[in-house]
Chains A and B, each alone.
Chain A
Amino acid sequence: MRYAELHCLSNYSFLRSASHPSELVDRALELGYEAIAVTDECSVAGIVRAYEAAREQPIKLIVGSEFIVPGAGIFVVLCPTRRAYAELCEKITLFRQRSEKGSYAVQLEDFLDGFDDALLLWWPQCESEGLSYAKALNLGHQLKRRWRDRLWLLYERHYQHNDKAVFRMVCRLSKQVQLPVTASNGAVMHDASRQPLLDILSATNANQSLLQHPEVCALNTERRLRALNELQACYPSSWLMESAAIADRCTFCMSELQYEYPAELVPKGMTAQQYLRQLTEQGAQQRYPAGVPESVIHQYEKELQLIAEQRYEYFFLTIHDLVEFAQSQGIFYQGRGSAANSVVCYCLKITAVNPAQFDVLFERFISKERDEPPDIDVDFEHERREEVIQYIYKKYGRKRAALAATVIRYRFKSAFRDVGKALGFSEQQLQTYRQNLDRRDRTQNWKEQLAEQYPALVQSKRGQHLLSLTEQLMGFPRHLSQHVGGFVIAANELTQLVPIENASMRDRTVIQWDKDDLEVLKLLKVDVLALGMLTALRKSLELLKSKRNLTLGLADIPQEDPVVYRALQQGDSVGVFQIESRAQMNMLPRLKPSTFYDLVIQIAIVRPGPIQGDMVHPYLRRRAGKEKVDYPSGAVKQVLQRTLGVPIFQEQAIKLAMVAAGFSGGEADQLRRAMAAWKSTGKLQQFEDKLISGMRARGYSESFAQRLFHQICGFGQYGFPESHSASFANLAYASAWLKVHYPAAFFVGLLNSLPMGFYSPSQLIQDAKRHGVRFLPADINHSQWDYQWLADQGNCVRIGLRQIFGLARSRIESLLSQSGKTPFTDTEQLRRGGLHESDIQALAKADALTSLSGHRYQAHWDALSLSDQQMPLFNDVADTKSEISMKPSEAEDIKADYASTGLSLRRHPMALIRKRSEVKKCVTAEALAGCRSGQVIEVIGLVTCRQRPGTKSGVTFLTLEDETGNMNVVVWANTATLYRKAFMSAQLLWVKGVIEMSEGVIHVVAGRLDDKSELLQLSKLASRRFH
């Protein structure tokens, strides 16, 4: 008995199927099917996953797609050949682009034209769809004329009440139109056990609870992959045999898809290989003006050879083309990724990291053995990335370039919500259950936590369904979204390769595959990403040029400057790329970076991966010489030597699996993928046995093997590749260098590139002040839209109007360009200059009209009289300037500053209350350094940051700010519980605790907390003048 499943939906037909593509393939194999066609609805999004599952298995995968055609039934298009596949992709693109994101539009006429090679299975869904027999007959004849011997009637029996009628109709049609019939399961699940999940999805699709609308549920479990004997019991065997005959006609395999690179990048008369060599050699001359060192030539020769073998020239040339465009436009960029840190990329100016700068044995940048596409991401200035994207569209056209998709999957929260709603729980109930779950709690998973907190829920049948179905649903694809910047560029029309559909963003189109799919098919994508720090650095360096006549590019910044490292060793890194977070800042004085490679480690080590894998402390101890560095073998030493025997980078973990556990290149590659997707799939565990037994067999101790596995798990999603870290370190060093030597230019660049980074403008400005930068307030007669460095006054910066909330940039810039140098003298001029009432009020509120009105209250009062809508009865009232008798107090000014700009140049609010007895006795941030470790002290400050790292259960880090700086407070779980309210909601927090000092890091470990927010209330600050 031969059978092929020709109509089957995977969960990439969103909300219509309850099985992953791989589950369908595996089950079909188990049941002895000869072939399976995954025919998602107007989509091939799931086909790559199915291909991956069917690859190297004795089952044929057929590519196809299902279309619901109004008034005609269900059409299943199958691809016997590569040509048919291209037709299908083009048609899907057409149907999808007619419609909004996530939907498609087809009509019968679409199938009466085109489709020269594809096969069509037609399931005439009769009466219910308004398709009478006469109409079906007519339709059959029409289709037959077009499709000839490529057309079949499809019959699916799901044990419904009308089976007999449908069967009769199909037989009659077959006879009258002379069409062969084939039968299929029309499966939407691989196995009957998925019926509950299928019902949940159907209810979600209908936006109903299935308790109230059971009609959305499946009547039975027949839409599954059924055993051959079950199929024989419900279909004539000739119809089943026909399915196998159709499968025999389908010879197309996904592996036939060949990527062809855009060829126009290579000048006529040259091969890609020659051109890449030419560019590399030219670049090398520029990079090494004093003569290219022999070692460098040797290295790039090796790399070029490898590139030639793998035929990756076009990939490098494509990226070179993009960065060349960026260079020509003065857009800062930086390449990263394992391939980016090659000498070739350095010479092509894709990256500024000189590979010779640090003595590192990188994993070979392109692994021949692993046969994976090279990895290069290019970051561009975040404000100007769009220019690069538009360049790509312009150069290659929208038919040849599109963004990769990102598959948005069900995560806990969305799965819990959808399952809950389908099971009739109210939104409020679900929120209550959810809000107390600590998803970062590693000791108890969410199910255990729910069981503990809501035992009644977990004991009820509905509650049990909620839990088990949520778990099943997690990881299911929900819809396609656009990748942040991964472009696929093809030599010819991309639609011959993969369908393109509309993204939600206007003028953006995405292909139906995500980055993993592209990787499986070995299609190259170019990552065009956005990075705020590049914008900031360009702006700072431009300032150096215009104000100090100092022309520097990223690559020209003096290397290994000890002054820069000295500052970093003090933890002075606010605003510095990648190492400004609180955790990074605490690590700096411990790790004491003194070379570029230390920075590479610094960036990679303060990550959840190394922290969970318990790699931080061993590394620090070894670095400080407190622990012996030993290696179980020479091979391990070679991998781990540069990080003192502690694996810190993702590459090291993989390399270790190869050298210590005997993983092959391919297996190591699988391990890498499993690491990346560990959290969502849990696949890493399957490597445990292999890894540990592999190491034991090679003579490593059980404890070493266990520790390594534990460390690899820790890397999970969060492991950081060394190559990325090196590129980031480059920017970290550049920003630190600027901060140390040209703080005004640095902070102006940063403040003009916000939002980005970790800190608010207020925090940045306070830090800048501590570095000797003076700030002048925003003022309509002195400020521009951006912050300005007043270089003639030294480190002096005028705050830009961009800092004021609620201002329209275009109107302000237009006003300032008109005014020239003449100062404004009253608010009416601003109005005439095109500002709206709301702009003038925003300026008044931010005290930026002081030079016109004297103080903010008067300015605001004046601005109000310029209302856009004149008040009818009062139009004739003489336009006398009325004076407001009130002047703002200092406290009122400070409060209004914060409300209108988020910062104040006046005194810190804490300074206003410092003289109060309860504040006076507290130690200031500045004075903390003078205390001794272990001393019991009181501190008070504004809470600027509450951080609860996922890694250390039960501890929360608070940052308190006073007028002298920041303080780090550690709150343990029991203290937090005891003083819960103050802990959670205080704006101004008083803490009594013990000071802890170690290696230059100062913490206050809280013992008692109190909410002192009321001290800052304006009514308490201001004297009560009206009484």
Chain B
Amino acid sequence: MKLWLYLHFPRLLLDNIERLQPHIRRLPVTLVYQEQQKEWLLQCNDTALSLGLERGQSTVLAHTLVTNTVFMPYSEEKESRVLMRLAERLYLSVDKQVLFKPQGIAIQVDSLLKLYQGIHPLITHLKEELGALGMSYQLSLGFSARSAQCLACAGIEQLSTDRCVIEHELGHLPIKQLLLTPKTEKRLVNSGIHQLKQLWSLSAADIGKRFGSGLVDDIQRLKGNESQAFEFFRPRDAFITQLDLVTEIQHWQGMLFPLKRLLQELEQFLYQRQKVVRQLTIELQHRDIEPTTVPLKLAADSWRASEFLNLLQLQMNRHPLNAPVIAIEMRAHELFALTRDSGSLLTKGVAHQQTVTELISRLQARLGEKAVYSPQLSSDPRPLLNEQRVAQMTALPAQQDAPRRPLWLFTDPDVVKIEDWQLLEGPERIQSGWWSSPEMKRDYWLAQDKQQRLGWLYFEDGCWFLQGWFS
């Protein structure tokens, strides 16, 4: 008989957030699922539960019940990523894992029984692992991945390996716990079939005629006749992890704790694989503006959290935070074997030969992609606020009928004597920016000085200023 252990993580994403930011435990934190116009709670932490919030409540009700509830958007993709990380972690202990994204892992345990000298030592070991991570879980044994899954998701910790016992437990499972499609489930319940054993008692022909072969096969799987070939999990060769911050963080200092935890995760990840990295990207996400990307380039290959942290602390000064951070993402794509020598990217002599493109790509590799940019005019009508950085090589479409602007703008405009100038065209009146500073009200002129140079002048507070030169 095959034997499967299923681990179900009912609030995986939220547990992960809490693990990395332990201080939020005292806040009622919830993950919210949104569909069309409706929003409801999907995962609640212990504090939220103790205050009466529960899965399925609308956010409006939850907010009314507990006014300081923290709502965070749920993302299946993010939760799946956490599941992957978890599987990688467990990979040291158990190899035959099948991922049931986003919340479950099924482990084929019959081949492990010898190694662990029985099922119970294995389960005890896994429980210790999971306990250390602080993840809530439900687990169960079954004679197929499917049967173990149903029992675990129903919250029944079935640890017997006796076929009869497993069958008995399964038989009593309500139809609603079988994870069938809502349509099938509804039809069965409407026909008075409330438990699996009732379904088992019907002939395959009767079921097949009404529900097709899909359900007939599924019932077989639940009986342990699983013919499905599973794709077992293989650890990735890249490290990507993300953390949503429960409270927005304004300063680097406030992010140190979660960053340390993430770096420790990376360290463990690399250590398990005997790998090193020479480049790591930390992306800090903000609410309204583009993320801040901090590339960490190591002088020498490394796998140690402490080294990354030292480097990061240096970088903090170079990357002031423009806006509060709401999430952190850490990525290391290229892993190298631990033994490999590290080398400088810009090796001798090569620089001289480079074309611009090569130089740019080198620079990008060295400094991070977003660190190399081209200046371009933006749509803000206010001079000096109308420049933006765009990623290298991405040219924006030229604006039709764009106003004529000097290429060379002064941050601090010069006072000029108007007698030295001849006004050519204008005024162009710019009165805009009421929504942010600086609010501006100026008349701009195109003018020529005695040397026939074209300048851009404006008049303010009784003085004429030179804002910039046209080429």
Contact with A along B187-204 (1 / 0, CB 8 A): 100111111011001110
- B443 sits at the interface (CB 8 A): yes
* CB <8 Å contact, B209 and A871: yes
Query: Which of A841, A865, A873 meets B190, CB within 8 Å?
Result: A841
Residues of B within 8 A of A218 (CB): 432
- A984 sits at the interface (CB 8 A): yes
Residues of B within 8 A of A215 (CB): 379-381
- B375 sits at the interface (CB 8 A): no
- A55 sits at the interface (CB 8 A): no
- A426 sits at the interface (CB 8 A): yes
Instruction: State the CA gap A106–B202 with chains docked (Å).
Output: 69
* CB <8 Å contact, A196 and B434: yes
Stretch at the interface among A156-164, A490-498, A559-567: A156-164
* CB <8 Å contact, A871 and B211: yes
* CB <8 Å contact, A871 and B428: no
Instruction: State the CA gap A164–B425 with chains docked (Å).
Output: 7
Inter-chain residue pair count (beta carbon < 8 A): 149
- A886 sits at the interface (CB 8 A): yes
- A462 sits at the interface (CB 8 A): yes
Known: A214-B381, A984-B61, A985-B61. A873 touches B428 (CB 8 A): no
* CB <8 Å contact, A159 and B287: no
* CB <8 Å contact, A211 and B435: yes
- Which residue of chain B is the closest to A434 with respect to CB atoms? B60
Query: Which of A213, A219, A841 meets B432, CB within 8 Å?
Result: A219
* CB <8 Å contact, A426 and B287: yes
Min CB distance B16 to A, Å, is: 21
Min CB distance A937 to B, Å, is: 27
Residues of B within 8 A of A221 (CB): 431
Min CB distance B406 to A, Å, is: 12
Instruction: State the CA gap A871–B206 with chains docked (Å).
Output: 11
Contact with A along B53-87 (1 / 0, CB 8 A): 00001011101110100010100000000000000
Known: A865-B209, A888-B192. A219 touches B434 (CB 8 A): no
- A424 sits at the interface (CB 8 A): yes
User: Which chain A residues in 150-169 approach chain B with CB under 8 Å?
Assistant: 158-164
Residues of A within 8 A of B208 (CB): 871, 873-874, 877
User: Which chain A residues in 880-908 approach chain B with CB under 8 Å?
Assistant: 882, 884-888, 892, 896
Residues of A within 8 A of B190 (CB): 841, 844-845, 856-857, 860, 896
Min CB distance A462 to B, Å, is: 7
Contact with A along B135-170 (1 / 0, CB 8 A): 000000000000000000000000000000000000
* CB <8 Å contact, B192 and A884: yes
Known: A860-B187, A874-B208, A984-B65. A423 touches B430 (CB 8 A): no
User: Which chain B residues in 194-234 approach chain A with CB under 8 Å?
Assistant: 194-195, 197-198, 201-203, 205-206, 208-213
* CB <8 Å contact, A1026 and B194: yes
Instruction: State the CA gap A892–B172 with chains docked (Å).
Output: 18
* CB <8 Å contact, B192 and A886: yes
* CB <8 Å contact, B435 and A435: no
Residues of B within 8 A of A871 (CB): 208-213
Min CB distance A73 to B, Å, is: 14
* CB <8 Å contact, A219 and B429: yes
Known: A159-B443, A435-B63. A220 touches B432 (CB 8 A): yes
- A832 sits at the interface (CB 8 A): no
Known: A161-B404, A857-B191, A1026-B195. A195 touches B434 (CB 8 A): yes
- A465 sits at the interface (CB 8 A): yes
Known: A864-B210, A871-B212, A985-B61. A882 touches B428 (CB 8 A): no
- B436 sits at the interface (CB 8 A): yes
* CB <8 Å contact, B431 and A219: yes
Interface size class of B (residues with CB under 8 A): 35 or more
* CB <8 Å contact, B191 and A984: no
- B471 sits at the interface (CB 8 A): no
Contact with B along A438-470 (1 / 0, CB 8 A): 000000000000000000000001100100000
- B400 sits at the interface (CB 8 A): yes
* CB <8 Å contact, A196 and B431: no
- A217 sits at the interface (CB 8 A): yes
* CB <8 Å contact, A864 and B435: no
Residues of B within 8 A of A199 (CB): 434-435
- A205 sits at the interface (CB 8 A): no
* CB <8 Å contact, B187 and A211: no
- B343 sits at the interface (CB 8 A): no
Min CB distance B457 to A, Å, is: 14
Residues of B within 8 A of A158 (CB): 429
Instruction: State the CA gap A210–B425 with chains docked (Å).
Output: 29
Contact with A along B345-380 (1 / 0, CB 8 A): 000000000000000000000000000000000111
Instruction: State the CA gap A426–B34 with chains docked (Å).
Output: 14
Min CB distance B183 to A, Å, is: 11
- B235 sits at the interface (CB 8 A): no
Known: A127-B401, A221-B431, A886-B193. A1027 touches B209 (CB 8 A): no
Min CB distance B400 to A, Å, is: 6
Query: Which of B213, B288, B379, B382 meets A424, CB within 8 Å?
Result: B288
Residues of B within 8 A of A462 (CB): 435
Residues of A within 8 A of B427 (CB): 159
Instruction: State the CA gap A199–B436 with chains docked (Å).
Output: 13
Instruction: State the CA gap A127–B402 with chains docked (Å).
Output: 11
The listed residue with most B CB atoms (<10 A of its CB), out of A161, A873, A885, is A161
Residues of B within 8 A of A861 (CB): 191-192, 210
- A432 sits at the interface (CB 8 A): yes
Min CB distance A277 to B, Å, is: 58
Known: A219-B429, A864-B191, A886-B193. A128 touches B401 (CB 8 A): yes
Min CB distance A77 to B, Å, is: 26
* CB <8 Å contact, B431 and A220: yes
- B403 sits at the interface (CB 8 A): yes
- A548 sits at the interface (CB 8 A): no
Instruction: State the CA gap A462–B65 with chains docked (Å).
Output: 29
Query: Which of B64, B73, B195, B400 meets A980, CB within 8 Å?
Result: B64
- B462 sits at the interface (CB 8 A): no
Instruction: State the CA gap A845–B190 with chains docked (Å).
Output: 7
Instruction: State the CA gap A857–B193 with chains docked (Å).
Output: 8
Residues of B within 8 A of A127 (CB): 401
- B52 sits at the interface (CB 8 A): yes
Residues of B within 8 A of A651 (CB): none
Known: A159-B443, A874-B205. A196 touches B435 (CB 8 A): yes
- A305 sits at the interface (CB 8 A): no
- Which residue of chain A is the closest to B34 with respect to CB atoms? A428
- Which residue of chain B is the closest to A888 with respect to CB atoms? B192
- Which residue of chain A is the closest to B287 with respect to CB atoms? A426
Instruction: State the CA gap A210–B432 with chains docked (Å).
Output: 12
* CB <8 Å contact, B197 and A1026: yes
Residues of A within 8 A of B193 (CB): 884, 886
Query: Which of B63, B64, B288, B429 meets A222, CB within 8 Å?
Result: B429
- A981 sits at the interface (CB 8 A): yes
- Which residue of chain A is the closest to B210 with respect to CB atoms? A864
Residues of A within 8 A of B288 (CB): 211, 424
Residues of B within 8 A of A163 (CB): 425, 428
- A274 sits at the interface (CB 8 A): no
Known: A221-B431, A865-B209. A981 touches B65 (CB 8 A): yes
Query: Which of A162, A211, A424, A845 meets B401, CB within 8 Å?
Result: A162
- A436 sits at the interface (CB 8 A): yes
Instruction: State the CA gap A423–B209 with chains docked (Å).
Output: 58
In order of increasing CB-CB distance, the 3 nearest A-B pairs are: A857-B192, A215-B379, A159-B429
Q: A214-B432, A426-B287 are in contact. List 16 more A-B contacts (CB 8 A).
A: A128-B401, A161-B425, A195-B434, A219-B431, A219-B432, A423-B435, A435-B59, A436-B64, A860-B187, A864-B210, A873-B212, A885-B198, A980-B64, A981-B52, A984-B61, A1026-B198
A-B contact pairs, 27 of them (CB 8 A): A127-B401, A199-B435, A210-B435, A211-B288, A213-B379, A214-B378, A214-B381, A214-B433, A219-B381, A220-B432, A424-B288, A428-B73, A435-B63, A465-B434, A465-B435, A856-B192, A857-B190, A861-B191, A864-B187, A871-B212, A872-B212, A884-B192, A886-B194, A888-B192, A984-B65, A985-B57, A1026-B198
